[in-house]
Structure 1
Amino acid sequence: MAKPTLPMNPTGWFQVAWSAEVGVGAVHRMHYFDREMIAWRTTSGAVTVMDAYCEHLGAHLGHGGTVDGENIVCPFHGWQWNTQGHNVCIPYEKHPNRGRRIRTYPVVERNESIYIWHDAARREPYFDVPDVFTGFDDGRTAADYHPAHPRGTLYREQLELHPQYVLENGVDFAHFTYVHKVPIVPVFTRHDFDEPVSYVDFTITFDNSVAGETSVADIHSGVNAINAGLGVAVTKSWGMIDNRTISAVTPVDDSTCDVRFTVWIGRSPKDGGAPDPERADRFAQGVIEQFEADIHIWSHQRYASPGAFSRGEYPGFTALRNWATRFYPGTENENDSPTADSAYTDAIGASRQ
């Protein structure tokens, strides 16, 4: 496998767990961005993600730490830390240690998932995680879909790939025939890379050998995607199969990432929207199998920069790569060069100095 050549500390939102993995009172161990972390849920239901080590003498709170109401208790000496990482109790002293704080991370819990904000400069979040349902402004809600976790999910640990690989797949019209073995020819109707949250829409058509005289209007299917930085992409598939997905790629260290994929299948209008879990499981597994075919390519890929793009590929790939530079430390405001690939190469070089 080829170690990713892109910086592994981009700014943005990244999924670290599914909500069901962190129950009330639970302490969940994680390792992301080369740091030991824990997620824990208070009695009131709030999720906190923080560095794993107690600021007293360095005990790992994920190995024996417990939740007491709205605080987490160190297993070594019973020091208690609140959801902001402040020490609030030393059981054998009259006062807490107000000078010590465990690093915590901004958290969003949405769509059965837990996300953290990562920024090497420790700035506050400046864009949001899109909602896989309300983000498309079509009136649909989670009630219109079968729950995703656990049967509609995929989790792969420590693959040698990068979040940007996955997003570039969204503008790659040519891979459907060769990776997914389907005669789909996407026609892109939107490439919007002006803001940290970007949008890519395409309508599905088929190659002439399959489609014959079928027109785009007759097929009436497509995909809308919202990319929240490099870590999270949500999609709405409409027409042939009503599904919503979230692909989330989170750096573990300077070589690997964890990949999570979540699929929601729409309740069938033919049954009046009644639950049909067997149908949902079958369709979700079909979508997951297609995503697994992509993972097989990404996890053995050597990233090519600049890429040898064909004429048709150039606009989408260069727009996305130019947009992506804004998320790498030291290059956030250097994404307005007229030559996308040269800006991209310069950004990567700057981030490694």
Structure 2
Amino acid sequence: MAKPPLSMKPTGWFQVAWSAEIGVGDVHKMKYFDTEMVAWRAESGELTVMNAYCEHLGAHLGYGGTVVGEVLQCPFHGWQWSAEGRNVCIPYQDRPNRGRRMRTYPVVERNESVYIWHDIDRREPYFDVPDVFAAFGDGSGVDGYYPQQRLYREHLELHPQYVLENGVDFAHFKYVHNTPIVPIFTRHDFGEPVSFVDFTITFEGDDGQRIEDVNSGVEAINGGLGIAVTKSWGMIDNRTISAITPVDEFTSDVRFMVYIGRTPHKDQARAAAKADEFGREVIRQFEQDIEIWRHQRYSDPPALATDEYEGFTAIRQWAKQFYPDGIGGSAADVYAATQKG
């Protein structure tokens, strides 16, 4: 990937782990946004994500740090840090250091995933993480689906915006995923930090059919640049979550999750096997996109076909609000300006 002229430190919610990776008492090392971090789970089950280096003398808390009840203890001198990032104990002194604080991040656990809110100006979250079930308002829930299937690719040279732009790129479906006809977009709603894209699509039939006769499609909800959830209708019931999180100035981690809906079936083992097979096919198609993204160059301005102009213009204008480095102003300021207008 040729490095795009886009910040790798955008504002928003981004996945940093799966919940099951961090059990009670665990300390989980990770690096995102060019920053060493740790995630740890207290005895109460509360999950905390904070910068990794102890404010005392800089020991990395991911190497030997231990959870003691509701605090994280440094392996170097035993200093203890709370879920709010405050020093609550210096074991060889009768009072803590109240003047220093570890940076912590707002955390949400949803759909078996761990998300943190990232903002270089440390603003509080102003939109929510979309839920792959509740966000569509159809009464669905995890019990109606087979276990989540996953893809995880580390340190790929791609930018989160490439993945979001893929959601308005109707032409690629035919040439990357071999759909018989080009889909038609029925909704582009980029008025808020959480945006919506719906389109009619089919993966069956031939190129002789008319799009007007297709009775299947996809609804997508984008929670900023870091998360997109989708619901398919008129075909095999599936929900997906794509989560792209910058690691450093050049690479991102890619997570993709698929839920396949349960259906009444006499042979439950056969039904589960078919669901697993279909889930793997959905993941395979996402991998086809990854192969494009990781070798892509950001084209600005792009040479667009007439029918592409509306979607790409809308999503690129929408994306500007999440960049803090002059491309579109700070996320909170841009959002505030749209509300005033």
**Do both share a fold (TM > 0.5)?**
yes
Contact 2:183/2:211, CA 8 A, preserved across alignment: no
Alpha-carbon distance in 1 for matches of 2:252, 2:88: 35
Moved over 3 A (4+): 211-217, 269-277, 332-337
Helix, strand or coil: the match of 1:318?
helix
What's the CA shift for 1:269? 3.5
Q: How far does the alpha carbon of each residue in 1:28-67 deviate from its partner, in whole angstroms, 9 at most, with x for none?
A: 1000011000111111111110000111111100001111
Match in the other structure for 1:289: 284
Residue 320 (1) aligns with residue 322 (2): no
Residue 111 (1) aligns with residue 111 (2): yes
Alpha-carbon distance in 2 for matches of 1:277, 1:318: 42
1:157-176 to structure 2, matched below 5 A, reads: 157-176=154-173
Contact 2:181/2:206, CA 8 A, preserved across alignment: no
Q: Percent sequence identity over matched residues?
A: 68
1:62-141 to structure 2, matched below 5 A, reads: 62-141=62-141
Match in the other structure for 2:225: 230
Match in the other structure for 2:186: 189
What's the CA shift for 1:277? 3.7
What's the CA shift for 1:184? 3.8
Match in the other structure for 1:10: 10
Q: Are residues 63 and 277 of structure 1, via their aligned partners in 2, closer, same or farther at CA, if it must alter by over 3 Å?
A: farther
Q: Are residues 23 and 277 of structure 1, via their aligned partners in 2, closer, same or farther at CA, if it must alter by over 3 Å?
A: farther
Q: How far does the alpha carbon of each residue in 1:143-168 deviate from its partner, in whole angstroms, 9 at most, with x for none?
A: 111121xxx11111111111100000
Q: What TM-score, normalized by structure 1, do the two folds share?
A: 0.89
Of 195, 205, 208, which aligns to 1:198? 195
Q: How far does the alpha carbon of each residue in 1:165-192 deviate from its partner, in whole angstroms, 9 at most, with x for none?
A: 0000000010012111222421111100
- Runs of at least 5 residues in structure 2 that lack an aligned partner in the other structure: none
Alpha-carbon distance in 2 for matches of 1:56, 1:261: 38
Q: Are residues 215 and 256 of structure 1, via their aligned partners in 2, closer, same or farther at CA, if it must alter by over 3 Å?
A: closer
Helix, strand or coil: the match of 1:138?
coil
Contact 1:203/1:223, CA 8 A, preserved across alignment: yes
2:300 is matched by which residue type in structure 1? S
Alpha-carbon distance in 1 for matches of 2:133, 2:221: 11
Contact 1:27/1:65, CA 8 A, preserved across alignment: yes
1:187-266 to structure 2, matched below 5 A, reads: 187-205=184-202, 210=206, 212=208, 216-217=212-213, 219-266=214-261
Contact 1:322/1:335, CA 8 A, preserved across alignment: no
Q: What TM-score, normalized by structure 2, do the two folds share?
A: 0.92
Residue 41 (1) aligns with residue 41 (2): yes
Provide the aligned C-alpha RMSD in A: 2.1
Contact 2:70/2:83, CA 8 A, preserved across alignment: yes
What's the CA shift for 1:72? 0.8
What's the CA shift for 1:279? 2.6
Alpha-carbon distance in 1 for matches of 2:69, 2:92: 19
Contact 1:4/1:255, CA 8 A, preserved across alignment: no
Alpha-carbon distance in 1 for matches of 2:181, 2:47: 41
2:321 is matched by which residue type in structure 1? R
2:129 is matched by which residue type in structure 1? V
2:171 is matched by which residue type in structure 1? A
Match in the other structure for 2:175: 178
What's the CA shift for 1:216? 3.7
- Runs of at least 5 residues in structure 1 that lack an aligned partner in the other structure: 338-353
Alpha-carbon distance in 1 for matches of 2:123, 2:233: 37
Alpha-carbon distance in 1 for matches of 2:294, 2:93: 52
